[in-house]
A and B are shown apart, each in its own frame.
Chain A
Amino acid sequence: MAVPLSRQKLLREWKLYFFVVPSLALVLIFAYYPATSAVYHSFFEWAGGDTKQFIGSDNFRRALHDQVLIDSFFTVSVLIVFNLFKMIPSILLAVLIHRLHSDRWQYLYRVLLVVPMIVPGLVTLFIWKFFFDPNLGVLNGLLDFTGLKGALVWLDHLCGWGVFFPNVPIGWLSQPELILPSLFIWGFPWIGAVGVLIFLAGLQSIGQEVYEAAELDGVGPIGKFLYIELPLILTQVRLMLVLLIVGTLGGYGLQLQLLNEYGGPGGRGMVPGLWMYNRAFYAGEFGYACAIGMILFAFILMLTFINNRYVRIDK
């Protein structure tokens, strides 16, 4: 570790400060200034121009009664639950790949997993949007082809959803009731390359001999997962959990592109980040948007705090 310098040495080394100045300046201008500005402007009615009016905490009081914002927090909670569920395939796949005896195949599968990552995320998103298309989309084609559509219509009759009808194409992204299910199906089979690679890194420390010992003791495949693999990747699972929750809570790119700036029909896909974006860039209510940003920031900070306090990540 670097030790404090003597006065004499300090006089010689002061030029070193120049090394940190560019980074510091950039961070001050493009991170600290906007953050401060957001706090400041959340107390103003501001349309983005030169004129603004101080309105105290009115923006925050408005947010408390803003039904769209309140609903959006419910929606985002549902999405977080979805995303937690969507972690399972990645864990499963990482364990399966790790259990293979051949290193060559392990490497090959790893590379194949990364391949979808080199397609821009937006492209994957738009291909899925195309899959959801009611008339030409792959999803409806697949349902018709396999006859699953009939099953859905039958279930609809049974439960009285009023969503699926015979001979009417399913509007995955245009029927309000189907927005959340579509956001769930999106990305099937939900394998995140980054997740799998991280879990694999955690599994790396288990040697073949551990498995052999377990086999001698008559531990089955599920036992191996529960007693050998899961404890070792728990750190990684927690890490992914935190990233997922924080990412889902603040994210809105997916909803903006898959649906629209109003969160699709009926606003069923509206999330807090998207509402902030919508208020700022579609309604021109920059002050209110800053206030929503503050509320969102408070939630994210709280979650980060809870996570540091109760969910320890041992490095």
Chain B
Amino acid sequence: MSTTTSLAAHRRDWPKHIFILCFICIELFPLYMMFQVSFKDNATFIRQPWLPISPLSWHWENWGFAFKLILPYIANTVFVAVTGTVCSLFLAILGAYFFARHKLPFSGILWAAFLALMLMPSVVNITPLFMLLKSLKLLNTLWALVLVGIAGGQVFNIFVLRNFIEDLPRDLFEAAEMDGASHFQQVINIVIPMSGPIIGTLAILSFLGMWNDFLLPLIVLRDQDLFTLGVGLIYLDGEYVKQWGQIMAAYFVASIPLIIVFLFTMRLFVRGLSAGAIKG
């Protein structure tokens, strides 16, 4: 393409830019409100709801309150989401390796057993799941969330990873076997190093799922020390007299961990989310 036509073409794009920017501005408006209200007290907010106030009169104590309230919740959520994601992926890699490498007796039946679960909507299970956790004495523990999270991730992760491992060059495995590598060593030294991007994508999906979950924590957790972000925010929403500045600051603090993750893994994030919709 010659530069002259492309320049003309670029210039003809401006109505599209305006349109897209309008969309994105409205889309980001809630975040703008969250940020600017977080520095106001209720009186200031009623006087001036729309525009930010000067930094000199910012109410930093809102943020102090938010950090004190939200940080323990974040710690709990990080524990659940990180443990859950790491274990879930590790077990899924082992499972996928089993299906991908050899066709052992019963592996067809086992595969069908995993696939059938894709049809089962997890929402419907929540009542008996609660009773199960109760009889396992796991109610009011973070381990309940971790275990259910790991189990919930198995089907999709094994499904994706099996296809991926089957596409890895066979020679690599055969060469490793010649050298006397066990299956476990093959997983550690061949599968994991070679499937970095797909593991990263799956990890982001699992992590986001556990980070954002609030339905299960809501019925499992009772003690305030154990609250994850989801339950903590719901608890905050239930307060009778609302200090909007404090609440908005708390919302913002709750978003910070993912903002940090996002800054480092932007590309993986964008791709992971595209893949995520296939998951359903």
Contacts and interface: CB of A to CB of B under 8 A. Distances in A.
B151 A33 contact: no
B17 A30 contact: no
A38 B27 contact: no
Main secondary structure on A side of the interface with B: helix
A151 interface: no
Interface in A59-109: 89, 93, 96-97, 99-102, 105, 109
Contact of A136 (B45, B105, B261): B45
Interface string A1-37: 1111100001001111101101110110111111101
B20 A109 contact: yes
Contacts of B26: 188-189
A54 B122 CA distance: 25
B131 A286 contact: yes
Contact of B119 (A2, A110, A115, A301): A301
A30 B129 CA distance: 7
Contacts of A290: 127-128
Determine the interface band of chain A, counting residues with CB < 8 A from chain B. Answer: 35 or more
Determine the interface band of chain B, counting residues with CB < 8 A from chain A. Answer: 35 or more
B235 to A, nearest CB: 11
A19 B104 CA distance: 12
Given A27-B155, A113-B24, A141-B49, A16 B254 contact: no
A281 B119 CA distance: 25
A240 interface: yes
B225 to A, nearest CB: 20
Contacts of B192: none
Contacts of A34: 125, 128-129, 132
A239 B259 CA distance: 29
A79 to B, nearest CB: 15
A102 B10 contact: yes
Interface in B103-158: 103-105, 110, 113-114, 117, 119-132, 134, 147-148, 150-152, 154-155, 158
Given A120-B258, A123-B233, A293 B95 contact: no
A41 B128 CA distance: 9
Contact of A35 (B24, B104, B120): B120
A26 B131 contact: no
Contacts of B266: 111, 114
B227 to A, nearest CB: 13
A138 to B, nearest CB: 7
Interface stretch (B60-68, B195-203, B270-278): B270-278
Given A115-B31, A118-B258, A120-B258, A19 B94 contact: yes
A119 B211 CA distance: 11
Q: Which of A10, A26, A97 has the most CB of B within 10 A?
A: A26
B39 interface: no
B78 interface: no
B24 A109 contact: yes
A185 interface: no
Nearest to B218: A256
Contact of A15 (B19, B183, B280): B183
A194 B100 contact: no
Contacts of B183: 15-16, 19
A252 interface: yes
A160 B197 CA distance: 59
A246 B118 CA distance: 12
5 contacts: A26-B154, A120-B211, A122-B234, A123-B233, A257-B214
Interface of B: 1, 6, 9-10, 13, 16-17, 19-20, 23-24, 26-28, 30-31, 33-34, 45-46, 49-50, 91-92, 94-95, 97-105, 110, 113-114, 117, 119-132, 134, 147-148, 150-152, 154-155, 158, 166, 183, 187, 211-212, 214-215, 219, 229-230, 233-234, 237, 244, 247-248, 251, 254-255, 258-259, 261-262, 266, 269-270, 273-274, 276-278, 280
